[in-house]
Amino acid sequence: MSELLASPHGTMAVLNEFGLRAKKKYGQNFLINRGVVDQIIDAADISEDDCVLEIGPGIGTMTQLLSEAAGHVVAVEIDHSLEPVLNRTLEDRDNVTILFQDILKTDLKKAAVEYNQGRPLKCVANLPYYITTPILLQLFQEADCFESITVMVQKEVADRILATEKDREYGALSLAVRYYSEPELVCMVSPGSFIPRPGVDSAVLKLNIRKGAPVDADEAFLFALIRAAFNQRRKTLANALSHGLDGSDEAVTREEVQGALEKMGLSPTIRGEKLSLEQYAELSRHLRQKYESAV
Ligand code: SAM
């Protein structure tokens, strides 16, 4: 079996052997800290019964250790030039399938059916930071395909994900993550755990996917409200929402929003960043009533 990569020496040896340089355009920062890889895999709670979806295996550092813990690992990598490297670093590991494609164009439902008989996958990744939010939103669109998502992200993104309405970092991403999952912080990771060193601190989060929606609301309408509120976060909520709901055929007036806020016991001049997920759901139910009563 090939040498483990999760060390500065193991990684440098492979990079030199293949004359490889990390590609910035693909967000390549390879993990060299075995302790961090072990913490990620422990947090993801992987057993032989699990099929893992790894996003961006890179040179195979985490893939090697995931393949020892899991029943099967499906790894999706955009960079085709890593194929000879992965063939070598994962040789003899017959429970690993590598798909060379863009994760944003990957059919996740099909992957769960094909590799795990339709049962939920556990997603594990040291994410490429340039597309963290699009990847998370894509995974949430197919939330039923996952039991949990354990990911390394930029610390600043972790702060936004974990923020509540009391925090400055609170926004649409915090609300989306809380709607689909229960997030927990696993550990903080410093730049020295990667080659090359990223210019930012990192954090590992575990997102435990919910079995059902945590609030009673029409999902599309709820997220149209949330997007509109945070697209214009300096405005009052009533002003922001009355400017139009992106991605929804429906429209609300400033007076309707103010009326709904008053019914909820909130100031009509409140800003969107002060409302919790439960309050957005309640607001959406009040505003929806006019459509339902019109039917
Ligand atoms: N897992 C490796 C590790 O921890 O050392 C590499 C992690 S590196 C931060 C991110 C990886 O995601 C790179 O291998 C990069 O090529 C890959 N990647 C970037 N964009 C991608 C995409 N759209 N779809 C799939 N993989 C992608």
* Angstrom distance (rounded) from CA 165 to CA 272: 9
Nearest atom (ligand 1) to Cα of 11: 5
- How far is ligand 1, taken at its centre, from the CA of residue 137, in Å? 17
* Angstrom distance (rounded) from CA 196 to CA 210: 35
Nearest atom (ligand 1) to Cα of 32: 5
Mapped onto helix, strand or coil, the DSSP state of residue 55 is strand
129 close to ligand 1 (CB < 6 Angstrom)? no
30 close to ligand 1 (CB < 6 Angstrom)? yes
Give the model's pLDDT for residue 249. 78
Mapped onto helix, strand or coil, the DSSP state of residue 200 is coil
Mapped onto helix, strand or coil, the DSSP state of residue 149 is strand
132 close to ligand 1 (CB < 6 Angstrom)? no
Ligand 1, atom 8: closest residue by C-alpha: 28
242 close to ligand 1 (CB < 6 Angstrom)? no
Cα four-point dihedral sign 247, 210, 71, 110: negative
- How far is ligand 1, taken at its centre, from the CA of residue 123, in Å? 13
* Angstrom distance (rounded) from CA 128 to CA 24: 10
- How far is ligand 1, taken at its centre, from the CA of residue 102, in Å? 10
Ligand 1, atom 5: closest residue by C-alpha: 30
Give the model's pLDDT for residue 247. 74
Could you list the pLDDT tens digit for every one of the 295 residues in the chain? 677 899 999 999 999 999 999 999 999 999 999 999 999 999 999 999 999 999 999 999 999 999 999 999 999 999 999 999 999 999 989 999 999 999 999 999 999 999 999 999 999 999 999 999 999 999 999 999 999 999 999 999 999 999 999 999 999 999 999 999 999 999 999 999 999 999 999 999 999 999 999 999 999 999 999 999 999 889 999 999 999 887 777 889 999 999 999 999 999 999 999 999 999 999 999 998 766 655 4
74 close to ligand 1 (CB < 6 Angstrom)? no
- How far is ligand 1, taken at its centre, from the CA of residue 26, in Å? 6
57 close to ligand 1 (CB < 6 Angstrom)? yes
72 φ/ψ angles, rounded to the nearest 5 degrees: -145, 145
Count helices and strands (H / E) in the chain.
Answer: 12, 9
- How far is ligand 1, taken at its centre, from the CA of residue 228, in Å? 31
The beta strands (E) that lie in 42-103 are given as 51-55, 72-77, 96-100
Q: Are β-strands 30-31 and 51-55 bridged in parallel, bridged antiparallel, or unpaired?
A: unpaired
Give the model's pLDDT for residue 288. 86
Give the model's pLDDT for residue 291. 61
Give the model's pLDDT for residue 248. 78
Tokens of 162: 């974990």
Nearest atom (ligand 1) to Cα of 125: 1
The secondary structure element, H or E, covering residue 41 is helix 34-44
Give the model's pLDDT for residue 19. 96
- Pocket residue to mutate for ligand 1, from 18, 33, 63, 103, most atoms within 8 A of Cβ: 103
Cα 194 → chain centroid: 20
* Angstrom distance (rounded) from CA 171 to CA 167: 9
* Angstrom distance (rounded) from CA 289 to CA 110: 37
- Pocket residue to mutate for ligand 1, from 11, 18, 25, 26, most atoms within 8 A of Cβ: 26
67 close to ligand 1 (CB < 6 Angstrom)? no
Q: Are 233 and 271 in contact (CB under 8 A)?
A: yes
Amino acid at 87: N
